[in-house]
Homo-oligomer: A and B are copies of this chain.
């Protein structure tokens, strides 16, 4: 009988945690024992999973005794406190928050791109930001085939990236619009920030708070994480991150410059057709292109609108869409665990 693992899920009731549980069940991850951990406040609550009822336990350092894999998705501060405790007790932490992503001792992994980095782990592995993951899945096969020298991305990000309360806010605002009532905002663009603006019938050019250089943290995540995952510290990457009134599915308008001259759209398309985790949807004659509404629930990253720049022979434009809660978060975390099992690192 194949080895089975004791898995802990920290933050099981959140938007990403729920999807992590679904993915563990759907992908038949070899779970021996499952522990659901949360704050003291949620401890004692019951949660159903794969036909069984689990009682949520308080996430204390000792709760990780005997745990093989700990999936964290309960906010950066929880990870900062408890992930080292879990690792100290022998668990491999796969952390979905931004807490450890840029730590040089922590591999930041998208299995299709830098699976080999998992081998260097010291107990904590970071899952990249949602908008970063789908972009590097689309870019890595292109980089391998033709080289990559420049990246400029503008995003169209769904509210589910801000959690369940942001989804509820969009729904409440949408209903208020329909009923001609006043629209109020208390969550977006950033729960803890000073001002809040409606997302229904609006777009918000702020995701996460601002850094001193004028870019938001979300934009800096895309810039810095891409360089780390692709092992390309000198790669120019620029990002503008924008929230749109979509429930699930991030879209990205991506401009890249490849190193080789004379690459054709069909060559680039062919590389993407053969790339792991990518589905090419690019038949404009039949109006086939990726859209977030139709990416929901799918594991793959969808790429379309592939076209060559009209002024720059090495420039290409792509439109990249993925389910931000799946490949952008929960699925990638489980895929990291699967890769570690398959590569016998766990």
Interface residues of chain A, those whose CB is within 8 Å of chain B, are: 150, 152, 154, 156, 171, 174-175, 177-178, 189, 193-195, 197-198, 201-206, 210, 213-215, 223, 236-238, 240, 242, 244-247, 251, 253, 255, 265, 284-287, 289-293, 304-312, 315, 317, 319
Contact = CB atoms under 8 A, between A and B. Distances in A.
B205 A251 contact: yes
B255 A156 contact: no
Contacts of A253: 154, 205, 240, 242, 253
Contact of A201 (B178, B195, B247, B308): B247
A240 B319 contact: yes
Contact of A198 (B178, B210, B293, B310): B293
Contacts of A319: 205, 240
B287 A202 contact: no
B238 A315 contact: yes
> Copies per complex?
2
In the A-B complex, the 7 residue pairs with the smallest Cβ-Cβ separation, listed nearest first, are A236-B311, A214-B307, A154-B253, A202-B293, A154-B154, A240-B253, A210-B284
Q: Which of A193, A244, A308 counts the most B-chain CB atoms under 10 A from its CB?
A: A244
Given A156-B244, A201-B247, A203-B244, 6 more contacts: A154-B240, A174-B178, A189-B287, A203-B291, A213-B307, A238-B309
Contact of A203 (B156, B286, B308, B309): B156
A246 B198 CA distance: 11
Given A245-B244, A291-B202, A214 B305 contact: yes
A220 B57 CA distance: 58
Contacts of A240: 154, 253, 305, 317, 319
